[in-house]
Structure 1
Amino acid sequence: MQINERMMLVGSGKYGSLISDSMDCNVYLLDGGAECALIDAGGGVDPQRIVANIEKAGIAMARVKYLLLTHAHADHAAGAAFFQTRYGMQVIAANEAVPWLEQADMDKTSFNAAKRGGVYAPDFQFPGCAIARGVSENESIQIGELALKVLETPGHSRGHVSFLLEHEGRKALFAGDTIFAGGKVVIQNIWDCSIQDYAETVAKLHSLHIDSLMPGHGPFLVNEAWRHVEMAQNCFNRLDVPPNL
């Protein structure tokens, strides 16, 4: 699903467009010319559907050199091992999340809690994955002709980062599970979800005045995405909590 000349949606599950497996988050492809990157990996149940969407768009998998993970939850990261081993993609994640992903730490990733809660089927697998690079606030990731800025965005979880693309006078944010259309958030009863951290993260994103929002679930926003961030910001300013996705 083409978003613009540089971005496309290549995976999306039951909380989005259902163009890939139902457990997948939104998976984006960023086209930097000579090199491309995936933003998030989906749940890894049927990753070939994501590959098929990429190839149908005329993108050779050999051009997709990088996989950027927003955070370590299974619907975003359990597919990373497939893309790393099958296509040799360099996987990039927040420094804090690197050992959880490499060691398949099912407590730190909240995978065990999610299984107990019935989020994932009993046979759902979350394999460990080699991480090529850990990143932190304000680092730059070069994808061909494009540069992404790393923003640490905890709240939904620890080890959560978002990626900001500033290109041709516009700002696009790959936000993972930080902020969604309608100013919604995802607050869960897990060890590392923090309302206070969430409020600080939303305030940070509000200050960016972003044009486009590429969230981890649901519809993406092409224009005036800052208005949706402002909805969440206004809730937190009232000492309230934004609506949950």
Structure 2
Amino acid sequence: MRLTQHVELVGSGAAGFDLTDPLDCHVYLVRGSRGAALVDAGAGVSAGLLARRMLAAAGPAGERHLLLTHGHADHAGGAAGLARSVEGLAVRAGAPASDWIASGDEEKLSVDRGKAAGVYPEGYAFPACPAVRPIADGERVDLGGGVALQAVATPGHADGHTCYLLDAPEGRALFSGDCVFTGGRISLQNLHDSRVPDYAASLERLAGLEVDMLLPGHHEISLARAGRHLRAARDVLRRGLLPGSTT
């Protein structure tokens, strides 16, 4: 699904547009003149399809990047399969989630809680992805042709949660993972690394960004005037409340 000149939605599950496996988050493909990047990896079943889309976009000699917003299985469970299928793939995630993804630590990644809640089937296993490396707040991935992604550390939904700010000729977009959704909604869950003070600080930080498009990990997408969604979350915080949760 082409969203802009440089961005496609190539994966999406039951909490989105049913393009791929029901467990998948939104998976975005970003193209530049010298390479391509996937933002998030889905839960794993769709890894082969996503790998083919990545290879076609990057070309035989292009850079290949996988940027994970966080370690929950619907976003990062496909990382190992993609790393096996895409030669030279640079897999990145915010610390400490990068360590948990590398080792496949299902307790730290809350896969056990997801199974208990019926989100993932009992037979689901999170495959370790030793190729993943940490990405630092502010680090840039330049894909060429005026297309670049910058990491924005946004803990709160989960430790190591990272949004990615895209600058492209057609405008600026925020890949927000599960940090913030349209209407200023959030995803606050009863998990070991879901932290309200960190979440509030992350939402305040994002509200200061000027963005045209909001491309979250699930649900609706905003392709114009997207800053209003970030400011909506901030305005609720400033009243001493938390924004409404999608979960």
CA apart distance, 1:194:
1.3
- How do 1:120-131 and structure 2 match up within 5 A? 120-131=120-131
| Stretches of structure 1 lacking an aligned partner (at least 5 in a row) | none
Contact 1:98/1:131, CA 8 A, preserved across alignment: no
Alignment of 1:81-230 (within 5 A): 81-88=80-87, 89-145=89-145, 146-168=147-169, 170-230=171-231
Query: Which shifted more, 195-204 or 126-135?
Result: 126-135
In structure 2, relative to structure 1, the CA distance for the partners of 1:166 and 1:60 (3 Å cut) is: closer
Q: Residue 187 of structure 2 aligns to which amino acid in structure 1?
A: V
Residue type of the partner of 2:197? Q
SS at match of 2:167: strand
Is the CA contact 1:98–1:134 (under 8 Å) kept in the aligned structure 2?
yes
Give, in angstroms, the shift of residue 64 of structure 1: 6.5
2:126, 2:59 → 1: CA distance?
23
Q: CA deviation at 1:132?
A: 4.6
* Structure 2 residue identity aligned to 1:178: C
The answer for the alignment partner of 2:76 in structure 1 is 77
Measured after TM superposition, the shift of residue 167 of structure 1 is 2.7
- Equivalent residue for 1:19? 19
What is the CA distance between 1:60 and its match in structure 2?
6.2
Counterparts of 1:21 and 1:48, CA distance in 2: 12
Shift, 1:61, TM fit: 6.6
- The superposition leaves residues 126-150 of structure 1 with CA deviations (integer Å, 9 ceiling, x where unpaired) of 1000235311111112223322111
CA–CA separation in structure 2 for the residues paired with 1:154 and 1:101: 16
Runs of 4+ in 1 over 6 A off after TM superposition: none
- Equivalent residues, number: 243
Counterpart selection for 1:59 from 44, 57, 62: 57
CA RMSD across the alignment = 1.9
- The normalised TM-score by structure 1 is 0.93
1:48 and 2:48 aligned: yes
CA distance in 1, matches of 2:79, 2:93: 11
Aligned-pair CA distance for 1:195: 1.6
Alpha-carbon distance between aligned partners in 1 of 2:123 and 2:80, rounded to the nearest angstrom: 17
Letter in 2 for 1:229: L
Range with bigger deviation, 230-239 or 75-84 = 230-239
- Contact conserved, 1:171 with 1:212, CA < 8 A, in 2? yes
Secondary structure of 2:198's aligned partner: helix
> How much has 1:197 moved relative to structure 2?
1.1
Residues 9-55 of structure 1, C-alpha deviation per residue, up to 9 Å, x if partnerless?
Answer: 00000111110010000000000123111000000023334456x38
Cα distance in 2, alignment partners of residues 169 and 65 from structure 1 = 22
Q: Deviations over 1:191-213 (max 9, x none)?
A: 01112111111110000121111
Rounded to whole Å, the distance in 2 between the matches of 1:160 and 1:103 is 17
Over the matched positions of the two proteins, sequence identity in percent amounts to: 37
Q: Distance in 1 between matches of 2:4 and 2:171?
A: 12
Structure 1 residue 237 displacement after superposition: 1.1
Deviates more, 1:214-223 or 1:137-146: 137-146
